[in-house]
Amino acid sequence: MQTSDETSVAQHAQLFATTHWSVVLQAGHGDSAQSMQALETLCRSYWYPLYAYVRRHGQSPHDAEDLTQEFFARLLARDYIQLADRNQGRFRTFLLSSLKRFLINDWKKGNREKRGGGQKVLSLDEEMAETRFSAEPSADQPPDTLYDGGWAAVLMDRALTALRTEFQHAGKLELFERLKGFVWGEKCGLSYAEMAGQLGMTEGAVKVAVHRLRQRYGELLRAEIAQTVSTPAEVNEELRYLVSVIRDGLANSGNVASQKL
């Protein structure tokens, strides 16, 4: 007879088996509409770090757009999915290694005429991508490290957007907008007491609301990460790594800014 803890673990494993990247890995060597839909969903969500990676390798915005689109065309045509390795199950790692292979085997051979014939495989917001890329600090870090930083930023943005949606559906959007600066530390510019005064709440109530906000954000961030790794055991490891990448990126950005003063 299973204990409650054993049941919880079993249920977690069963649910995890249906996450997007797990589905793609399981069906990588067969025909599966479910796996391709999952792959397209992942690509649509996390394409920006790839675009930025190509731009950092000296490609113009136009060429980077074309290359990113053609890469997705190859990916969705299963050219690279069959090479997915369960032992290297992080989706970000798989995407970057596949992109590197694509750039070497196709772009460097001068096969520009084969870049999808101008067809848009995914509806990507290239204007937003270039605006975002131009606004990013040119920190002195390897492109692979910057890629991981961009990946982490996308995950956190998606988790924050999901949290905002939940508050909106609960009729508490204003509360979210006021408290969201507390999600990653004390960054809203106000103390708990000052925020309580503005919201007409007690300081204790604000502290409780912030605690719940952070807790729920952490759950949503873990859910995002779970979509991009192949086993439950990798979630905590990936979370720790991505947080460290963001912190290092912020530290380096600060160093770059201080050097310019």
Domain boundaries, the chain: 13-123, 142-261
Contacts of 183 by beta carbon, 8 Å cutoff, 6+ apart: 160, 163, 213, 214, 217
Residues 117-137 pLDDT 10s: 555 666 667 778 888 888 776
Closest CA to 231 of 95, 29, 94, 87: 87
Cα separation, 159 vs 156, whole angstroms: 5
Cα separation, 67 vs 74, whole angstroms: 11
Name the pLDDT band for 10 (thresholds 50, 70, 90): very low
169-183 average pLDDT score: 94
Compute how many other C-beta atoms are within 10 angstroms of the C-beta atom of residue 256: 14
> CA dist 234 to 91, 110, 143, 222, Å?
12, 38, 23, 11
Q: Which residue has the higher pLDDT, 107 or 56?
A: 56
pLDDT at 96 over 50: yes
194-204 average pLDDT score: 94
Cα separation, 65 vs 203, whole angstroms: 49
Q: Which residue has the higher pLDDT, 196 or 232?
A: 196
Quote the crossing angle between the two packed helices 203-226 and 233-260, to the nearest 10°.
Answer: 110
Residues 213-253 pLDDT 10s: 999 999 999 999 999 988 888 899 999 998 898 888 766 65
12-40 average pLDDT score: 70
